Amino acid sequence: MSVETVKNFFHMKGKIVPILKFEDTSTVAKAAESLGVTPGEIAKSLLLQVQGDFVMVLMAGDKRLDNRKFKDAFNGKPKMPAVEQVLELTGHPVGGVCPFGLRQEIPVYLDESLKKYSVVYPAAGAPDAAVKLTVVELEELVATGWVNVAQD
């Protein structure tokens, strides 16, 4: 189970991070409503393919990907993988995709839009699960680096 993988990831990192369970956090709007936070505080995870490789970008939930900025940052056009491929690569279903406990090693980048918040809520491996982390914790746990790929 994907949530168990997320729990194991935090355990291996020596972090005690409760998994928050809700009826449905599969979209930014549903997650924000369930958590009682703004959509921007939801750290959405985007798995993208660029020139045959995969990257994950986490950005504020109220932002959209700017294709031009992405192309400039990663030297290629972003392509969304198929739903089956997302599960195969990450081990997490769409709606629960997160950077924790990934099935395959995938570079994870944090978008500058997250710096506006001290605390964010990424998914935790299922459409009804999330975790609460500071942006600093998120960076320390998973970040390969920072990018600016969100629309202004």
For 14-27, the pLDDT digits (tens) are: 999 999 998 877 88
pLDDT at 75: 97
End-to-end CA distance of the chain: 37
User: pLDDT band at residue 45, thresholds of 50, 70 and 90?
Assistant: very high
**Residues 6+ away with beta carbon under 8 Å from 68:** none
At residue 120, does pLDDT exceed 90? yes
Task: Average the pLDDT over each of 8-12, 21-25, 102-106 and give the range with the smallest value.
Answer: 21-25
Once rounded to an integer, what is the mean pLDDT over residues 44-69?
Answer: 97
The DSSP secondary-structure symbol of 126 reads S
pLDDT at 39: 97
What whole-number distance in Å separates Cα of residue 93 and Cα of residue 96? 5
Once rounded to an integer, what is the mean pLDDT over residues 52-79?
Answer: 97
What whole-number distance in Å separates Cα of residue 27 and Cα of residue 57? 16
At residue 141, does pLDDT exceed 80? yes
At residue 1, does pLDDT exceed 80? no
DSSP E strands, the chain = 20-21, 42-50, 53-60, 108-111, 119-122, 129-130, 133-134, 145-147
pTM of the model: 0.95
pLDDT at 23: 82
